[in-house]
Amino acid sequence: MIETIEIQKVYPSGTEEIHVLRGINLKIEAGEIIAVVGASGVGKSTLLNLLGTIDRPTNGKILYDDKDVFELSNNELASFRNREIGFIFQFHHLLPEFSAVENVMMPLLIGNKDRKEAYDSALSLLKNVGLEGREEHKPGKLSGGEQQRVAVARALANNPKVILADEPTGNLDRKTSEEVHDLLWELNQKLNQTFIIATHNQNLAQRSDRIIKLADGYMTEVTVDYKNDISQQQQ
């Protein structure tokens, strides 16, 4: 479904260049859950931003169903992103002045869906993530876990093929994190959507189909027990 070919990302820094990604080759199948791990600052968010077409690679290609998405115009790319990709961030990024259902409606309205249809779809999504009865509450009246569930529902709004999640439980307590983890796996099983999750959470990573580790701008696939791998790094 997704393939990256020699993806590189370089950022200018004064007279120098910072090479964040030095040649990432990755194939992701439909319905997979991929965990992207590595130390802070290693490029996990950068990789997700490239896969999500929020940013463009310095070199290399990203193919969705064998099509190089960066050959699209900016308007075509924005339409593709809204239609095919959902985003979940660590800090929700909900609009505080709007209710839960209105936040979930936003991607649908941007996609020119009828307002009544968007409202009904948003209600159904909030029910699916366990927020029935909380639809009209604004983010300030919701717990951190509830806000993240709204963010998950919003990411699902346009029934995208792939969900990109950047530390989706990094701002939550352990119990709430586990609940969100369970929700993501339940949705993956129910909807067969692809999830690519950047995380420091060992338990979340271990539950994934594959673990991709970034270090020094390169990627390796973790094939050993992740807990042991982390323990060895910390010794």
Residue where the block lists tokens 């080759």: 25
The pLDDT, as a whole number, for residue 60 is 95
Q: Which domains are present in the chain?
A: 32-44+74-234 (3.40.50.300)
- Could you tell me if 214 and 38 are in contact, meaning their C-beta atoms sit under 8 angstroms apart? yes
pLDDT 10s per residue in the chain (235 long)? 899 999 999 998 888 889 999 999 999 999 999 999 999 889 999 999 999 999 999 999 999 999 999 999 999 998 899 889 988 886 667 899 999 999 999 989 987 889 999 999 999 989 888 888 899 999 999 988 888 889 889 988 888 889 999 887 777 778 878 877 888 888 888 888 899 999 888 888 888 999 999 999 999 887 645 445 544 443 3
Q: What does pTM read for this prediction? A: 0.85
Per DSSP (E only), the strands in 99-217 are 162-166, 194-198, 210-215
The pLDDT, as a whole number, for residue 227 is 45
Say which residues have a Cβ less than 8 Å from residue 116's Cβ, sequence separation at least 6: none
C-alpha 75/C-alpha 156 separation (Å) is 21
The pLDDT, as a whole number, for residue 141 is 93
The pLDDT, as a whole number, for residue 223 is 61
| Residues shown for the chain | 235
The pLDDT, as a whole number, for residue 225 is 55
Say which residues have a Cβ less than 8 Å from residue 104's Cβ, sequence separation at least 6: 122, 125, 126, 150, 153, 154, 157
C-alpha 26/C-alpha 69 separation (Å) is 15
Say which residues have a Cβ less than 8 Å from residue 46's Cβ, sequence separation at least 6: 9, 20, 21, 55
Residue 23 tokens read as 């040649």
Say which residues have a Cβ less than 8 Å from residue 144's Cβ, sequence separation at least 6: 171, 172, 173, 176
Say which residues have a Cβ less than 8 Å from residue 58's Cβ, sequence separation at least 6: 8, 9, 10
The pLDDT, as a whole number, for residue 188 is 86
The pLDDT, as a whole number, for residue 64 is 94
C-alpha 156/C-alpha 84 separation (Å) is 10
